[in-house]
Every structure is written in structure tokens, then in C-alpha cells.
Amino acid sequence: MVKSLQEPLVYIDGEFVPKSKAAISVFDHGLLYGDGVFEGIRAYNGSIFKFKEHLDRLYASAHSLLLKIPLSRDEMKAAVIETLKRNSMKDAYIRLVVTRGVGDLGVDPKKCAKPTVFIIVGSISVVPKEVAEKGIKTMITWVRRDPVDGTSHEVKSLNYLNSILAKLEANTYGMDEAIFLTSQGYLCEGTAENIFVIMGNDMWSPPAYTGALPGITKTAVTEVANKLGLKVEERLITAHELFNANEVFFTGTGAEVIPVTEVNGRKIGDGKPGMVTLKIGSEFRKYAADPANGEKYA
């Protein structure tokens, strides 16, 4: 007889609940208004990659929203590790979420007495592995990235409607992903990834003041690229420069490193994943798997 697998457990406000019974109130403002923050984190072979940096960003996002997280950093760290251990996971995608909590049907955050915290561990696939290895087709979307004086994506909030609109357009036109421009027409990021452009020995990425998320994977990839002798610069990038780049790739916690081979029908380079991108991807995976770049828990 085949033994049935135990149902995954989800952490909700200090309790561990089976996945099928995991629930929050329909009056939670995270659901009603997207009022909350989150982090997507990876564990590789029993080590949580850049755990401190992810927690720093979570608490910084919450601070910008005047959202007081009810757990200290040490308590939050312990909760994440315990969730991984209870689910016997050494390789995992971790979704750590803090909402404003239960309130009424009005938008006023003052009506929410206590934030809700939940932690889900599982897996994520941004695009199928075979697609990512061949490179993905993308398009610049008509949707502009929210500016820094709006719902800036420097804050990793639960409000992803901006990204969903762009992803819907990509799906409609049979593209793997969409690329955002700023309201001024400069390159910003993907729907959930940072973007890099390679020109010769130079590697560029849009700065955070364009509204792009200050990516933790982006920072790690920059470090990897520097070790490979590439000069990495944050600068404004036009669509023309994007179309004529030697190589383009996305980075993100779920994405890791994904080559972009086409943008709006224009081939990038020779239309195949670039050698530099492939090398960076290979070196990044080694970097992420190194326990020295994470926090060991198993």
C-alpha cells in the first residue's frame, strides 16, 4: 500500500493549519484592498537564500505603509524556519505575507486592529524549464509601471493589479512575459522580475527610482557579473537600446535568470540565449546553492 503524503501545513498567526483548511477572513484588508506586504524567498538544500536581505525588505516595505508587523525579526525568522521544518522541505519557494488585518468594508486602515501573518512553502515555476532554457518571447506592454509617487513597486505590496494587466496582455498575444516602461518611456522591469541589458562588456539595469523593485536576486546577479569581469551600471535605458542589445535577461526569486530572445517581434542578438547570460545563470545557481550566501536550517 502506498502511504499518502501528509497535507502541507500553512502558518497563520502562530498556528499551523493544513492547506485545505488554511483561510483568512473575507474582511481582511489584504484581500479587500491589497493592503499588505510580502516576500518571495528561496530555500536551496536546507539553506534560506539571502534571508536577512528579504526580511530587511519586508520590514522596510511595511514601514513605508505604516504597517507594524506583530512579530520581531527573530520571531519571523523562527516562524519561517519552523514552517519549512514542519513541511520537511529543503528546497522550497517561501511566500511570507503580512496584511493590514481584519477591518470593516471601508478603506480606512485604522479599522484594522491587528495585522495578519501567514507563511506558505511550496514550489513555483515562472515559465517551464524547457522554455526558459531556450529563451522567452516578450513584449513591451501598453500598461506603464506605477511611478514612485504612486503605488511604487519599490514597496513589495500585495497590490499587483498593475502587473496583472500587463500579464493579461502578454497572454492575449501569446508572449511569455511583458516588459514595463515608465511613464517617460524608459525601461523599468517585467511583471515580477528585474531586467538586464548587455551591450558588449557593459551590463545595464534600470535604477529603483524608475519604480522598479530593488531586487535581491538582481543584487546577487550583479555581484556574480562583476566577478566575471562585467561592468554593471544602473542607468536609464530606452526601448531602442533594448531592441538592439546583444543580450537581455530577467532575474527574480522565482525566475532566477531567464534569457529573453525576442521583444515585440525583434530578435535580441541572434535570437538565442546569449553566452554571457547562460554563464551568469550557471554561476548564479552555484552562488545561490552556497550555504555561505544563506542561512542554514536543515
Task: Quote the pLDDT of residue 1.
Answer: 36
Q: Is residue 3 included in any domain, yes or no?
A: no
- Decide if 298 is inside a domain: no
Using the 8-state DSSP alphabet, how is residue 61 labeled?
Answer: H
Residue ranges making up the domain that contains 161: 129-289
The pLDDT, as a whole number, for residue 263 is 98
Cα gap 209→172, rounded to integer Å: 30
CB 185 within 8 A of CB 147: no
Query: What are 61's three cell numbers?
Result: 516595505
Which of these three, 99, 122, 145, is where a domain ends?
Answer: 122
Nearest to 249 by CA among 224, 214, 273, 219: 273
Amino acid at 199: M
Query: pLDDT at position 130, please?
Result: 77
Instruction: Verify that 82 and 217 share a domain, yes or no.
Output: no
Q: Which residues contact 279 (CB under 8 A, 6 or more apart)?
A: 228
Q: What is the mean pLDDT of each run of 10 residues along the chain (298 residues)?
A: 69 98 98 98 97 98 97 98 97 97 97 98 81 90 93 91 97 97 97 96 93 95 96 97 98 95 98 96 96 94
What are the strands, taking DSSP E only, across the chain? 9-12, 15-18, 36-44, 47-49, 92-99, 116-122, 136-144, 177-181, 187-190, 194-199, 202-205, 231-234, 247-252, 256-263, 266-267, 294-296
Q: Which of 75, 107, 122 delimits the end of a domain?
A: 122
Residues 76 and 171 in one domain: no
